[in-house]
Amino acid sequence: MQVQCQQSPVLAGSATLVALGALALYVAKPSGYGKHTESLMPAATRLPARAAWFLQELPSFAVPAGILAWQPLSLFGPPGTVLLGLFCVHYFHRTFVYSLLSRGRPYPAILILRGIAFCTGNGVLQGYYLIYCAEYPDGWYTDIRFSLGVFLFILGMGINIHSDYILRQLRKPGEISYRIPQGGLFTYVSGANFLGEIIEWIGYALATWSLPALAFAFFSLCFLGLRAFHHHRFYLKMFEDYPKSRKALIPFIF
């Protein structure tokens, strides 16, 4: 049965992402996990970090992957399927690699439930739009928006993965103490991992040239940018010898 594109849920989902991003900036408080768990949610029921990240990120992979599974198999099929495949690549890593390597603190259960709801909704929105609504010209694979967008996506994902690796090496298994991250983009910013993911989703928005991806990039910029800001303040407060030239998110600027 052919699924017909309905623009109303696409617009509603995109508007929700924008609203959530704006709300994060308005509230201006860090989400209560990781470094900020004890101060913001001291009495919350928690799950181990690995299980928490796996459960939270899984819908972002499973939902679009399920949508793709119903499409004809082709290495270079319609651009929408290829672009949704990139989305799945990111969340395959987040679900099956990042989560299982995590050495983070236990994660509040209520935030896991919120994360599952968000990841499910965003997975549906991105997958539905790209497969059933998006229309691309025949030459999209050679369009500068696609080429530059995919380049930024891969660059950002590489920065994100490398930065996560640096952070993991700061702790031995079982440790919860904090140390100053060094190397990579951490030389210039406190939120190198966040910067990488923001670059990734900006590239994705460019490559897909879609409203849902742009809305998700905006949300990521707001949510992760704010988290980088609070991480930076945390490091400055905890370490007297923290590099004074290091910025929060954007090298030399912010």
Helix (H, G, I), strand (E, B) or coil at 84: helix
**Mean per-residue pLDDT over the chain, rounded:** 92
Which has the higher per-residue pLDDT, 16 or 172? 16
As a whole number of angstroms, the distance between CA 134 and CA 153 comes to 19
Helix axes 7-27 and 211-238, enclosed angle (nearest 10)? 20
CB atoms within 10 A of CB 114: 13
Q: What is the pLDDT of residue 208?
A: 98
Q: Which of the four pLDDT bands, split at 50, 70 and 90, describes residue 12?
A: very high
Helix (H, G, I), strand (E, B) or coil at 107: strand
**Percentage of the chain modeled with pLDDT above 70:** 93
Where exactly are the structural domains of the chain?
45-135, 139-253
As a whole number of angstroms, the distance between CA 74 and CA 81 comes to 9
The model's pLDDT over 56-92, given as tens digits with 9 standing for 90+, comes to: 999 999 999 999 998 876 666 899 999 999 999 999 9
Q: What is the pLDDT of residue 1?
A: 62
Q: What is the pLDDT of residue 40?
A: 57
Q: Concatenated DSSP letters for 204-221?
A: HHHHHT-HHHHHHHHHHH
The model's pLDDT over 229-244, given as tens digits with 9 standing for 90+, comes to: 999 999 999 999 999 9
CB atoms within 10 A of CB 231: 22
As a whole number of angstroms, the distance between CA 187 and CA 230 comes to 17
